[in-house]
Structure 1
Amino acid sequence: MAPDNETAVAELPAEKDGQGAASAPAASLEPPPTDNKTENEQSYPTGVRLFMIGFGLCLAVICSNLDRSILGVATPQITTEFNSLGDIGWYGSAYLLTSCCSQMFFGKVYAHFSAKWTFLSALAIFEVGSILCAAAPDSDCLIVGRAVAGLGATGISTGALLIISRSMPVSRRPKYTAMIGAAMGVTLVIAPFLGGVLTDRVTWRWCFWINLPLGGVTLLITFFLVHIPQESGQNEAVLWFQFAQKMDLVGNTILLPCLVCLLLALQWGGTTYAWNSWRCILLLCIFAVLFLVWAYVEARGGDNSTVPRRLLKMRSILAATWFAFCLFGMLFVQTYYVPIYFQVAMGDSAYQAGIKMLATTAAMTVFFPITGVMTTATGYYVPSMIAGSVASAVASGLMVRFRVNTSTAFWAVALVLAGMGFGLAGQQCMMVPQTILEGDDIALGTSVVMFAETLSGSVFLAVCENLFETRLIRELEFRAPNADPAYVIASGASGLRAAMSRLYDAQTVDNIIESFVAALQPVWTVAVVLAALSVLGSLATEWVSVKGKDGKDGKNGKNKQDKSSVEDGPLNETAAA
């Protein structure tokens, strides 16, 4: 209230000094807010243009998420072709690692440069990565391509949400955020089926070639139809050291090797090398040192740091970050390992496994738009977060009971609950920064939450691969002692029973299959723990309405309400005076 009083006191004397002195303040104070408000309202696209922007963003999300989710069904065939069962974790982790390391960097780029051209650049990088994956001659090249594609996908996902925030008022964003979520759901519905068809009928390489036409259409729509006015400070000429400071190049350079050391330690420990080997110990030590250095750099960087401290002091941002870390970690684990369960335990082909995964993805598609409508109607996104995290925990608990002879009804209920849970909660954590933040902080807050999403995928896929292989070797030694664990692992998951039947008797083959299913139990346990922990994040999130304190657009969190009172209060008082 102090600024309001000071403004009023400063303006009143000016009116007493004479007509000339009084008219100048009136001319300088009253018209600009009215003009700015009208300009902001007119700057929002409507009609066909708004529809095409939404359509273009949906295509972009479909493009990036198709690349992420289609690989789950194709992975067993890839491991069989390349004899690379030990690289399963890296097919996902390489993609998520570069996504994770560049997530907050893209947030800084979007905050300081043109959102449209940054988005198109990210799309181009993604397409290059897709070409590398499609033409990969071996597993190592595929992993490199996945890393490049992950880098571009980060800019696509962050840019889509940012363009939404700059194209419409906050009260209308839940509908379009839900539309993006529905596009993700449609992609998840199509991806297992499409991946299975391409893998079985053509080749798994078309799972990546398909991104080229989709990306091309997205590029044309975005280039010609998306027009976002530049905000103050964007594209200003800066020196190199100023650019490095703004983009926090030092912090991002430290973060990449830090996370690589962590993932390598998680990947190698207990499988390739013993946990007490010098390699694992050295990697963990390097990770700890680099993490401390990174934290110090971020603490000293102030507002130029990748993660500004003012964001981390906000309870809802911390809660949404924790929620995303847990829920998306669970999703990635289930997406990669449920198809393996179907192909190993039930002898399904990639196509058949994709058909069964429709139980999850169809449920997501149904609940994404329902959640958007509910949030728009009530104004609150926290109830959906709570309901979704609880449903996910129940679904993950049912997966722990997956066995070789699990009935269709049982696994179908588990997968439908998993899809319902993520459909209710998956996009709601993205509404938190869009609701309680404003301006450039929206891009930074969104990148922090998405950083947690991709980091959890990178970490827990590596953790689960380690747990899976360690448990598989132990189970094979106990259940099928005459089977060679190295050969079993190298054979991959696709067509495992047929491959083993050529070498071992029927009883040994059955024991090998039982060993695979038993080795998945620690993986399902990790998913249960993550889903349960996500409940804490949903409960800790503040109940802030997207409709604002008076049911109007744009003034939602405390910061926005305070700013509204500061901006509007003195002007109204001056006009009245």
Structure 2
Amino acid sequence: MAQHASGPPAVAPGAGPGTGPEGGPVDSRRTVLIAIGALLLGMLLAALDQTIVSTALPTIVSELGGMEHLSWVVTAYMLAATAGTPLWGKLGDQYGRKKLFQGAIVIFLIGSVLCGVAQNMPQLIAFRALQGLGGGGLMVLSMAIVGDLVPPRERGRYQGLFGAVFGATSVLGPLLGGLFTEHLSWRWVFYINIPVGIVALLVIAAVLHIPVRTTRHTIDYLGTTLIASVAVCLVLVASLGGTTWAWGSAQIIGLAVLGAVLLVWFVSVERKAAEPVLPLKLFRIRTFTLVAVISFIVGFAMFGAMTYLPTFLQVVQGVTPTMSGVHMLPMVLGMLITSTASGQIVSRTGRWKVFPITGTAITALGLLLLHQLSATSGDWAMSAYFFVFGAGLGLVMQVLVLVAQNAVTYADLGVATSGATFFRSIGASFGVAIFGTVFTNRLVDKLDHALEGQQLPPGIGPDQVAADPRDIAQLPPDLQPPVLDAYSTSITDVFLYAAPVVLVAFVVAWFLREDKLRGSVTAPDAGQTLASNPVERSSYDECARALSVLATREGRRKVYEKITAKAGYDLLPAASWLLLRIKREGAVEPAFLADVTPVPLRVITDASRQVEERGLARREGLQLLLTEKGMEVAEKLAHAREESLSQMLGDWWGPDRPTDLVKLVEELNAEVSGTDADRPYSPGPKRDHSI
């Protein structure tokens, strides 16, 4: 997926309170926080609709009919979001992100309303695609706007909030879907978006003020259309083959041939495109190619299972929609725990190959365990099986994005990230379709066998029972167990057939070469690993996020201890901060700093005394100014910080390093002395360990 324009944020990090890069007014910190809250609401809408529908699906297909179309309710959303993601990013650069974000909310809300009033499955599927188109815009633009609002050093903290939204919706989505379905109606799964979206729309209109950037792009509309068309053809073959049409039918063969022709056309277009949607040069990198294959398979297994497990729980186990969401929690928790742990371990140790190998092996084991499920399986056994499956997925998901980032040059950092997540998205769409085809084929055959020659109520037959699980209750009591068994084995057989596919990923993982991890490559956020649609960020944005995470992990005091030692001085960390602050401002008043920074007055007083005693600063009234010696020390401290940042970047910081990367390092370096002090004073306890 091609990256959108890279560059520094619209609000300069070094600007003082109340001024923008051109000296004009910018939002206060409170207003910025309100705007970010509205962005989080937008992200919440898109993230929630990836998971909230799963526990409502059995009820939806029962009411609207068409169990064979169940997979398309999920697939339509994912395909539309995947196809639209790169376009939203570039159009936002070109025409202004605020307007585009508002447009995405409107499209998403229209899609939600239409989904809520849908009267049949074809309508619902079409409206889900519209909803997914808006959802893709909400995802990519909300994170991009954060870069316009906050400086690089704080970007990781706020983007971490967006990652937390994904984690929360992974847990809450199935529960809320079950609650709405059971106590209101499945239609409220979609209607609930309306009030939340309206609030986000109004707040964004009122408080979000960001400069319109007019970065021009040569948007690859043809490439985007072609790759989306190829994906649709593949999913149609997978979902309709053997069900609606025979595998050898003219329709299925025609779709397969059309997909192949479109793929060849896509490759030809991408070779000539100025800004290709998926740069083919990435596939010359062996590690990226292997990551793409594994990502595809992980998406295949993850979303395929998450779509059909609620059907097993509600139809076979007879649990309520709400309780099916509760039963799904062990899988989600296993995924969150191991994805977070693996990402952190890799970031700190630099060793990563063990995780994709172990993760794919455990995922395959989890699928085999899910195959053992039956109508009589106990809660503890099911929870254990779900947890194992989720833990296996979590071990590999975070690491794949990290490995893709580590394998490319800085120029390709953004497209490598979006490329890895793109293949997971396509795998998810394909997996849901394949799971649905296998399930439908098995179910029809088993129901025919179970009900053959039996006396059935009028209007009830194998086709009716397959389309609407509620008809099982109308069958004679002696026929219900074999019908439930048909449903059970039809779903669990899907997991058995998926296990060999995941084992392919296990084999592929052994061929990954464990290159040394760059210092600037850190664990991606949950939005890059749990989302069903690809991440679209520039190389600049990805690097800023990573360095921001590293800076946050170091802590302010450690940063100043590190640069002081690197520069070769024996100074208090606060003294180094004070020197850099004076260098930046020209003169500072220590007592005033205590009011506008989180640094305690006692710490500032000790620092002031030290720099004066050593002849690094002199007093003029209440202010401190640098001496010639102090200016020399401040220059060395600033240079030491720049060196420490450049060391994290490794070979990205080469002789031909791009100007936006140089700009990023300069901004982060300036923020060491500026950002913390620019925060408006807010009453409350001050911490001595700030610096």
Same fold (TM over 0.5): yes
1:174–1:409 CA distance, 2 compared to 1 (3 A): farther
Contact 2:356-2:399 at 8 Å conserved across structures: yes
**Match in the other structure for 1:277:** 249
Deviation at 1:389, TM superposition (A): 4.4
Matching of residues 199-214 of structure 1 within 5 Å: 199-214=181-196
Amino acid at match of 2:121: S
TM-score for both structures, normalised by structure 2: 0.66
- The whole-number CA distance in structure 2 between the counterparts of 1:553 and 1:170 is 15
Deviation at 1:181, TM superposition (A): 3.2
Amino acid at match of 2:463: A
**Match in the other structure for 1:96:** 78
**Match in the other structure for 1:399:** 370
- State whether structure 2 residue 286 is matched by structure 1 residue 193: no
- Structure 2: segments with no counterpart, 5+ residues: 1-7, 22-26, 455-460, 522-546, 548-641, 667-691
CA offsets per residue over residues 355-401 of structure 1, 9 Å max, x none?
A: 21122234445556656665665578777666654543432332122
**Match in the other structure for 1:299:** 271
Contact 2:13-2:152 at 8 Å conserved across structures: no
Amino acid at match of 1:453: R
Shifted more, 371-380 versus 338-347: the winner is 371-380
Contact 1:174-1:431 at 8 Å conserved across structures: no
- The whole-number CA distance in structure 2 between the counterparts of 1:223 and 1:369 is 35
Amino acid at match of 2:311: I
1:224–1:394 CA distance, 2 compared to 1 (3 A): farther
Look up the SS of the partner of 1:276 in the other structure: coil
CA offsets per residue over residues 309-348 of structure 1, 9 Å max, x none?
A: 3444445544443343222222211111111111122111
Amino acid at match of 1:454: S
CA RMSD of aligned residues (A): 3.9
Look up the SS of the partner of 1:67 in the other structure: helix
Deviation at 1:200, TM superposition (A): 1.1
CA offsets per residue over residues 263-290 of structure 1, 9 Å max, x none?
A: 2222221111111111111111111111
Task: Select 2:492's aligned residue among 502, 521, 541.
Answer: 521
CA offsets per residue over residues 25-58 of structure 1, 9 Å max, x none?
A: xxxxxxxxxx99x955658999767755654444
Identity %: 25
- State whether structure 2 residue 140 is matched by structure 1 residue 158: yes
Amino acid at match of 2:466: I
**Match in the other structure for 2:259:** 287
Amino acid at match of 1:458: S
Deviation at 1:78, TM superposition (A): 0.7
- Structure 1: segments with no counterpart, 5+ residues: 1-34, 237-242, 573-577
**Match in the other structure for 1:29:** none
Shifted more, 467-476 versus 173-182: the winner is 173-182
Deviation at 1:465, TM superposition (A): 1.0
**Match in the other structure for 1:455:** 426
**Match in the other structure for 1:546:** 520
**Match in the other structure for 2:651:** 558
Task: Select 1:216's aligned residue among 175, 198, 204.
Answer: 198
Contact 2:13-2:150 at 8 Å conserved across structures: no
- State whether structure 2 residue 101 is matched by structure 1 residue 123: no
Matching of residues 86-485 of structure 1 within 5 Å: 86-110=68-92, 112-163=94-145, 178-223=160-205, 234=215, 236=216, 246-301=218-273, 303-315=274-286, 317-366=288-337, 388-430=359-401, 444-482=415-453, 484-485=461-462
Amino acid at match of 1:552: L
- The whole-number CA distance in structure 2 between the counterparts of 1:48 and 1:563 is 40
Look up the SS of the partner of 2:245 in the other structure: coil
CA offsets per residue over residues 449-468 of structure 1, 9 Å max, x none?
A: 33223211221211111111
Matching of residues 4-23 of structure 1 within 5 Å: none
Contact 1:185-1:364 at 8 Å conserved across structures: no
- The whole-number CA distance in structure 2 between the counterparts of 1:525 and 1:107 is 39
1:84–1:275 CA distance, 2 compared to 1 (3 A): same
1:553–1:317 CA distance, 2 compared to 1 (3 A): farther
Contact 1:360-1:415 at 8 Å conserved across structures: yes
Deviation at 1:202, TM superposition (A): 0.7
The structure whose Rg is larger is: 2
- The whole-number CA distance in structure 2 between the counterparts of 1:180 and 1:384 is 25
Amino acid at match of 1:489: A
Amino acid at match of 2:370: M
Amino acid at match of 1:456: G
Shifted more, 437-446 versus 116-125: the winner is 437-446
Amino acid at match of 2:419: V
1:133–1:113 CA distance, 2 compared to 1 (3 A): same
1:210–1:516 CA distance, 2 compared to 1 (3 A): same
Contact 1:330-1:526 at 8 Å conserved across structures: no
Look up the SS of the partner of 2:452 in the other structure: coil
Larger RCO, structures 1/2 (Cα 8 Å, 6+ apart): 1
Look up the SS of the partner of 1:117 in the other structure: helix
Look up the SS of the partner of 1:556 in the other structure: helix
Task: Select 2:55's aligned residue among 53, 56, 73.
Answer: 73
- The whole-number CA distance in structure 2 between the counterparts of 1:534 and 1:194 is 33
- The whole-number CA distance in structure 2 between the counterparts of 1:373 and 1:49 is 33
TM-score for both structures, normalised by structure 1: 0.78
